[in-house]
Each structure stands twice: as C-alpha cells, then as structure tokens.
Structure 1
C-alpha cells in the first residue's frame, strides 16, 4: 500500500518544552495532548522498559543503563552491565520479572577486530543499583568492522519467546545469506537456546536462530494486543521504509527488491517484480526514518486505541497508523521538532517518548481536554 495516499499532517501549536519549562499542548486529529518533559540530560536514550512500580529503565547509547522515576529523578548508571561495549541499545523485562527480576539488554560488542550485536540478561538488584550475574544469550555472527546497522530491538511474544532484530551491518548481500545473522529477525528462548519449532532449525549451514530474513535494519518491534502477532519496522535505503508481519522462514527481499534505491543512485527492482518474495504491508517513500514502535491500548487517548505508533527520527514526528486487521487504513504525522527514538506506553496508559539528542529527554503525553 502506498503510504502517501494516506498521509496527513498535524500542526504543532507551540514548541516542545525543555526541562523546567511549562508543559505545552499539541492539537492532533483525534486528541488534544499535553506534552511534559519528565527528564532531561540523557545522552542519546535508546531503549525504555517500565518496571512494575512505574519507574523506567532507560539505556543511553554510550553504554549506560539508568532508572528514571515518574517524577524525573535519574539514577546513577547501574553497575555490572556488559563491558566492554561501544553502545547500549534496547532493554526489556523478562515475562516473569516479578519473580526473577531479569532484565534483557542488547548492545554493540567488540569482538575479533570487529563489532556485532549481542544480547544478554542479568538480575536487577533489590536496590536497583546493579545488574547481577549478567550472561550473554546471543551473539550475532559474524562480527563486522562496519559501525552501522545494528538493528537490536527486543520483543517477547505471549509464548515467552524472545525476538531480537539485527541489521545487515551495511553489507546488503548478507541479508540473503542464511549462514549469517546479518539482516535477520532472530527467535530464541529466554535463556538464548533455540526453539525446536524455528523454521531453519534442521537445515544444514543455516543459523538455527533465524526466524525471517531479507531485512535491512529492523529498529521497531511490537506485539499486537489480542492477536499476539509480532510486527516489525525497518529502514529502507533512500526511501522504502517498511512495516512487515514477519512469518517463519519468510524472505522480505532486501537487497533483491525495495521500494527505495541505493544511496549511490543505483536502482533496485520493486517488490512486485519478485512475487516469490514477501512484500511489506506498508511502506514510505520518501523515508520517515522511524525507530521504536508500540500498539496503544490505554484509556488516556481512547480515539487511538489499537493504533500503531511509530517514533520518527529524520521525520521528527510521532506517526500514528490506524489499522483494519493487518491493513493500514490511515496515517497521521504529529510533528515534534526533535528526533524521536522510541515510544512506549506506561502502566498509567500515558505515552512516553525518547528524544535522540546529546541532552536527550523523556517526554510524556497526557490528555489535554
């Protein structure tokens, strides 16, 4: 479906606040919103997970994990996180966190003269100051010297399987190579072992963790409420950002086909030319460059219930998609005047956004009317 037929625009009434300034208002198609700055001074915050008491675990790209309270109090960096690491990326809680206190992280690991996406888990101490017993549960193979396209979102499905996204590391052909984890969506058990029903588990020469392939750089994962189905969003090259519903063993085409072209101007065949490959359910050209995403299920914005929300980087927007089953029926772009790295729903039903800046902020959306 061509997104430009559905795209709409929304006016920002006032500029976004900075820490210590009054909240501001946004008028959108379906809701009037108050935007508050919960916290500032975070160095390129990337991942966000809510603890049961409403506090937030937040990763910063330079390799820090912090706890932020609902009032905006920021903890010192949590100790005993994976080292060495050149970047921290996503964070998620174990489905049984209330019993085991396990926290999962993805990060960029130096290895053998190169870099690779890795995932691990540790137990958050009762004081919230350390991540005890951290263990690596997944390492992308192989490492690459290229410092780009790490993917790295985490999502648990209702059966407690863990999905980890990886990028093609700016080596496009690797996305079609099943002997590597590059450009793949990976599915593992909570301890990193391989589920017996993964699609390639018995195929020689194939990485058994692979769920789907032909992806460029997945930075958005979200499980649809009610269905338990995983949705994924990935960056295109110049145009061709995509939303997919990855199926086991599915080939999503990169770099054989795309709705965008290579950055050096080389034309890529369009998906309809290869019906043997799986096309996106929605795409953008030009790119909106979105990262984290979530389905909204809260009561604070009833007109948004069931909508898919996307955090826009280059587009500097919160993008709201209306859905009918697996079909996108409408799009609204809410300008934010900042690169938005992630969007998540709190237990309070409010929305929390991370801005991708040296002095990054946590923004909170509240009803304004």
Structure 2
C-alpha cells in the first residue's frame, strides 16, 4: 500500500529536499559500480517486499513493540505503517525545520520504555541555526506526535549555506544513554575541538538532556549499531574521495579526522590521521572508490541462518547493502554485498532490524518514488 500525497505538497517537499545527492553520497545513477563479492555458502535466499511507497527521501525507520513502523522524510513528515498494513500520516509540527542538502529531519529512535511512555526522539535541523534532538510523545493510535522536550538537546552545529554534513544518527546504548552521531558541518576545526559538538558521538541523558562528548575526530556519522550480546557500538561514516569507515567506539576515542587547513576545510588529509597521538584506526574502510556508507544494523536470530551476526550497512552511491562478518574484537573476516538488494532498489539510506526480526530498509532516490522495504529470509 502506498503513501498518497497531494501534488502541491509533494512539489514543496521536492524543493525542500534538494534536487540531487551530495558529492559524498554520489549520484543517484552512478556511471560505474564497484564489483560485489558473492554471498557465502549457506546464505539464505531473501524476500524483499514493499511496505510503503510514494515516499520522498525517507531517512530513518523504527519499529514499536506493537509492530507499527514509523518512517520519517528529510524535508519533514512522519508516516506510520500499522500492523494491519494501514499507512497513515502522523501529524507533527515541523514549521521550524531546516531542510537543505544533506540536512533536515534525520535520525529517529524510540525510547526503551516506549510501550509505557510513548516517547520518540528525532534529530533535525532547526531554523535557529542549529541541529537539535527533540523528544516527542506519540498518540496511542499513531495519529499525531506532540513535542515533549523542545529541544532535548540544542547547539549541534549546522551548515546553513548548503546543509552539508549534518549527521545525524540516534541509537540507545546498552547502558541507556542516547547516542547521537553528528557531522562536522564542513568546519575544519570541529572534529578535533572538544568544545564543539560537531564531528562527534555524544552521550545524552534522555531524561534531562545532559550531553557529554563520548568520541571525537569523526567526519559525518551516518550509522550507529550496537552488537547484540557484546555491548560494542560501531559507527559508520562517509570519507571524502576515499575511505568510508566503520569504527568500534570506545570512551574518549579519537578517530583521527582533522581537516583544519589553517582555517580551511582540507579534505585531502587522511580519514584517520596517523600524526594524531592515539588515533583509533578503522576496523573497515572502503579505500577507493567510496561506497557512501549510511545506516547500519546487526542481523540477529536463528532465522537469518548464514547471515546471523552480520553487520549490514546501507550504501547510497553503490546502491545496495554491504554485509560484514566480524570477529570478537570487531575485525572484519568477510565482506560481500547482499544480492537481493544489490542495485535493485537504488540508493539505500537506512537499515534497521525490527522487533519482529525482519530487516527494514529505506531507499533515498527522490522524485517521490522512495520505498520502505521489508527483508526476510525465505523459509
């Protein structure tokens, strides 16, 4: 079942969301695509179904305990897919949303106690010149979302000229902290500046909004994923013309992005600068060319058979899903692209395993033709 939007509203969304992808994310129709490794022996055949269509640049998706799916769109808007398949708009106030280039309504996360408190978190650009984390309360029938903490967190930097490198991924850590992955907003000094919230992964107390910098030295954090059973947190971020990265995060870690070229934004420097003392090397990098890595999640459960335990990552420029098998320390032992999603649905923005065990995927192709997909192993 598709999402139906009036033509005028859709036209406004097209203007707000921008006409094309950024240089980091690549063209929606790349001239060439890097070769994909074959799926391992014993990998399950996957079924890909469209849950909702007619979306415009959906950014993230979450699934509530009752099975309802909630997806957002970068230019503003929330859509719920109820357990019976009904697709409905969730009314919400986005009048102050800043949506330009890569920035707009971005990461979503549900409170761990959502079943009782109906609390939702979004990360979004604001017309006051910052990126904010806002807490919402969602109506029991999914008809509306009302701001409860407006904002919960303010002061995340924003690139007001072109909306570049806005981040912004949300993920609850095993200890209950709300993690916020931010972009450097193309400000060369931000990633290494402990006073800036740009180019960081932040820890936020979801009850009070208190913020601390957990890791620094990031370029544009697009994915955060917690490894089941281990407590490890992985980040995914875009490189410039090389080296998209996956990192294992640790308290106080510096991940080595330092593009401060004497007041300029020098993108010729390494993603992990070896001259920075203690810079933490990536556990995976793309090399050349970049793939435009985005959202990430772990597949967990016996139903996934040979895919169980994989870290899967959405690819924008390379239009698919990358799968990484990791050792206990987070090192990569195997990598391939998921065949059923390799070039079949265009650019992939977010991947999330739902509470029902399925993998949910948002595409990011524009022109009002984007989809929310459900991916499950064929039995």
TM range (shorter): 0.7 to 0.9
Root-mean-square deviation (CA, aligned residues, Å) is 2.5
* Per-residue deviation, 1:355: 0.6
Correspondence for 1:311 among 285, 289, 314: 314
Counterparts in 2 of 1:29 and 1:44: CA distance versus 1, 3 Å: farther
After TM superposition, the runs of 4+ consecutive aligned structure 1 residues lying more than 6 A away are 262-265
Structure 2 unaligned residues grouped into runs of 5+: 1-34
Correspondence for 1:276 among 259, 275, 278: 278
Contact 2:202-2:212 at 8 Å conserved across structures = yes
Q: How does 1:127-206 map to 2 (within 5 A)?
A: 127-135=141-149, 136-146=151-161, 147-194=163-210
Contact 1:232-1:245 at 8 Å conserved across structures = yes
2: CA distance, partners of 1:45 / 1:291? 13
User: Counterpart in 1 of 2:335?
Assistant: 331
- Secondary structure of 1:175's match? coil
Counterparts in 2 of 1:79 and 1:268: CA distance versus 1, 3 Å: closer
Structure 1 unaligned residues grouped into runs of 5+: 1-6, 12-26, 195-207
User: Counterpart in 2 of 1:15?
Assistant: none
1: CA distance, partners of 2:189 / 2:256? 11
Aligned length: 328
User: Counterpart in 1 of 2:364?
Assistant: 356
* Per-residue deviation, 1:184: 1.0
- Structure 1 length normalisation: TM-score? 0.82
Q: In the alignment, does 2:225 pair up with 1:222?
A: yes
User: Counterpart in 2 of 1:41?
Assistant: 54
Contact 1:300-1:350 at 8 Å conserved across structures = no
Contact 1:310-1:320 at 8 Å conserved across structures = yes
- Structure 2 length normalisation: TM-score? 0.80
Counterparts in 2 of 1:182 and 1:265: CA distance versus 1, 3 Å: closer
1: CA distance, partners of 2:323 / 2:46? 14
* Per-residue deviation, 1:73: 3.1
User: Counterpart in 1 of 2:86?
Assistant: 73
Contact 2:188-2:265 at 8 Å conserved across structures = no
Q: In the alignment, does 2:121 pair up with 1:104?
A: yes
